[in-house]
Amino acid sequence: MRSRAIYGCAGLALSAAERDFFHNVKPWGFILFARNISDPAQVKELVIQLRDTIGDGQAPVLIDQEGGRVARLKPPHWQDRLPAARFGALHETDAGAAREATYLNARLIAHDLSQLGINVDCLPVLDVPQPGAHDVIGDRAFASAPATIIALGKAQIEGLMDGGVLPVMKHIPGHGRAGTDSHLALPRVSASPEELSASDFVTFRSLDSCPIAMTAHVVYESIDPQRPATTSPKVIRDVIRGELEFDGLLMSDDLSMRALDGPLSVRAREALFAGCDLVLHCNGDMDEMRDVASEVKELEGISLKRSAQALSHLRAPSPFDVAAAQARLADLLGEFSAERPA
């Protein structure tokens, strides 16, 4: 039986201590960062090593491969992909071209990942940026109009899934109004429930069929002034599972981010108690991972059911002509050519 956690690792290959730890705790999955990536052969081998520790050749291996400034796979071995905002800009003049371009871009990202054995991408970003917010989201969002985000987010989800990669929508129920970067501090949002429902939450509500979602380390003061969404039973129960009707697999954002405080074991316990199905720990620090593991139990009950449902969406990539897709994408983008820097 697997545990309710996703862990990172420290380097380009697993240490003996990491192998033993993963074998013993049997995490639900793993996540890769730039520190884990050198070239395609090395990444493929690391993915195999990770899965071997738990004896599951199809175990989820996640990555943040959005395009633009959030991309773990980079040149010279992988092509740069454009940030979401470029597709949102195209949507202003040609909605159909923007949807097709978004789909093809996601399909090309999925191809890059599936070639390495990576089967989960932390994408799409469905946050709705608001004036005056911190630029931690910025051009990672498609646009400021929820309708545009919904249309292009749907295309992105379809492109990833057709390419054999599970999407993770983030950061539910919305990070676009946050005035600080949750990697560094805890954002607090003072908007009313009505404002949040009409803007920030609507994208997630409209795409609630996405199999996996990642929480926001954001306090919504009008809903729960004490706790960020990740550790708030009220936000998860009343908003994410209630108002947004999301019944998929819910994972926390990274527990080691500075938006959260206290020992890692406490953070993990609070996130799971609040209603997260899985907790995410990214930095590969062995002491911190052991602390998280001390509070993470086996995946069971409704969380196990949600996991099985999410993983049931994994399928082999459909037939795909990479060169033709790249040429068509460049044609659709025109002046927003993929050859231009992101």
Q: What is the largest CA-CA distance in the chain?
A: 54
3-state secondary structure at position 130: coil
Exposure string (b/e) for 246-281, b if CB count within 10 Å is 16 or more? bebbbbbbbbbbebbeeebbebbbbbbebbbbbbbb
Supply 182's token pair: 């949750």
Among the listed residues 23, 39, 94, 183, the single catalytic one is 183
Asked if 66 contacts 123 with a C-beta cutoff of 8 angstroms, the reply is yes
Among the listed residues 64, 139, 253, 254, the single catalytic one is 253
- Separation CA 22–CA 84 (nearest Å): 34
Those residues with Cβ within 8 angstroms of residue 67's Cβ, 6 or more apart along the chain or in another chain:
80, 81, 82, 83, 84, 105, 109, 342
Q: How would you classify residue 68: left for phi > 0, otherwise alpha for psi between -120 and 50, otherwise beta? A: left
Question: Is position 183 annotated as part of the catalytic site?
Answer: yes
Those residues with Cβ within 8 angstroms of residue 216's Cβ, 6 or more apart along the chain or in another chain:
127, 170, 171, 172, 173, 174, 175, 178, 182, 228, 229, 230, 253
| Gap between the terminal Cα atoms of the chain | 42
Question: Is position 23 annotated as part of the catalytic site?
Answer: no
Supply 309's token pair: 């449902």
For the annotated catalytic residues, the residue numbers are 183, 253
